[in-house]
């Protein structure tokens, strides 16, 4: 179910999975790839639901065409700016729209050489952005990074938890930790979301540095360290939400603490979340 920062909506509709690749082939070559969703709301669309009258309705196929064609006019490097650009342009084009929410997930490509002629998919983590705009301006600006897959060979423990008749897990003093992580954050002012991707770049670096440099007693402690570091070092972020999955691999065979063979973890998996505000 979709949610809007501006509050409950009795109706909304739009187009999702709109794929855009903007290729800059001269000057400083680059690939800007995004999977975009646009949702609109307003009383003008209510008759479509109640009587089938489509007089004021903008077809979702037209939305798809709008997004893909107007992407050519967006010259920035970041998802937030793209969402803001498309949303503002859509409101300008269609006066019957009361508000629009545009979200995008990065489709990342990295250059193979310094000449930046050839590229290949990168990741696995992908930046995301969500902007909601109304007739009075920007209502919400949110960003995030989804899909971190992080492996630490040593320096992770898990022990001292409740033991009862349901407990089979032994204390783990030094385990190889494999976790997945998603992050979302909100800005203190929506305008601070338009930062040419510098905040996402900084947070990606913080996640990597904290995970590799911090010896932990739980995944909860890891994500708390990441979250507090983000709030401490990036003052324009008002709130951060972290959600992790414990995907630590199953042990096949080990030779002491030196070498082991492992396989992908079987379901079910542990999931945990944390939300921090200033």
- Reference 127, options 77, 68, 69, 67; nearest CA is 77
Q: Which of 9, 48, 60, 228 is catalytic?
A: 60
Total residue length of the chain: 278
SS3 72: helix
Please say if 15 is a catalytic residue: yes
Euclidean distance between CA atoms 184 and 241, whole angstroms: 5
Q: Which of 15, 37, 138, 210 is catalytic?
A: 15
Helices (H) and strands (E) in the chain, counts: 5, 12
Say whether the peptide bond before residue 124 is cis (omega within 30 degrees of 0).
yes
Please say if 51 is a catalytic residue: no
Tokens representing 130 are 């969500």
Give the residue ranges of DSSP H helices in the chain.
46-50, 60-70, 79-93, 198-213, 219-233
Q: Which residues are catalytic?
A: 15, 60
């Amino acid at each position: 179910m979709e949610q809007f920062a501006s509050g409950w909506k009795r109706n909304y509709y739009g187009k999702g999975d709109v794929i855009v690749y903007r290729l800059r082939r001269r000057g400083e070559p680059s690939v800007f790839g995004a999977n975009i969703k646009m949702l609109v709301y307003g009383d003008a669309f209510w008759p479509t639901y109640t009587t089938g009258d489509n007089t004021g309705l903008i077809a979702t196929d037209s939305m798809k065409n709008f997004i893909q064609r107007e992407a050519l006019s967006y010259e920035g490097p970041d998802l937030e700016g793209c969402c803001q650009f498309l949303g503002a342009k859509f409101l300008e084009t269609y006066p019957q729209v009361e508000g629009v929410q545009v979200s995008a997930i990065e489709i990342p490509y990295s250059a193979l050489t310094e000449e930046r002629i050839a590229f290949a998919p990168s990741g696995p983590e992908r930046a995301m952005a969500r902007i909601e705009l109304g007739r009075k301006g920007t209502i919400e600006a949110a960003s995030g990074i989804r899909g971190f897959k992080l492996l630490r060979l040593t320096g992770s423990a898990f022990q001292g938890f409740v033991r009862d008749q349901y407990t089979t897990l032994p204390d783990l003093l030094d385990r190889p930790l494999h976790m997945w992580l998603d992050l979302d954050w909100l800005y203190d002012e929506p305008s601070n979301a338009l930062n040419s991707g510098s905040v996402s770049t900084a947070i990606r670096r913080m996640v990597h540095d904290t995970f590799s440099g911090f010896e932990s007693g739980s995944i909860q402690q890891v994500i708390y360290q990441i979250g507090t570091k983000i709030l401490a070092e990036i003052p324009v972020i008002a709130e951060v939400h972290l959600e992790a999955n414990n995907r630590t691999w199953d042990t096949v065979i080990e030779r002491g603490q030196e070498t082991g063979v492992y396989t992908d973890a079987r379901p079910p998996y542990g999931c945990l979340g944390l939300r921090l505000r200033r």
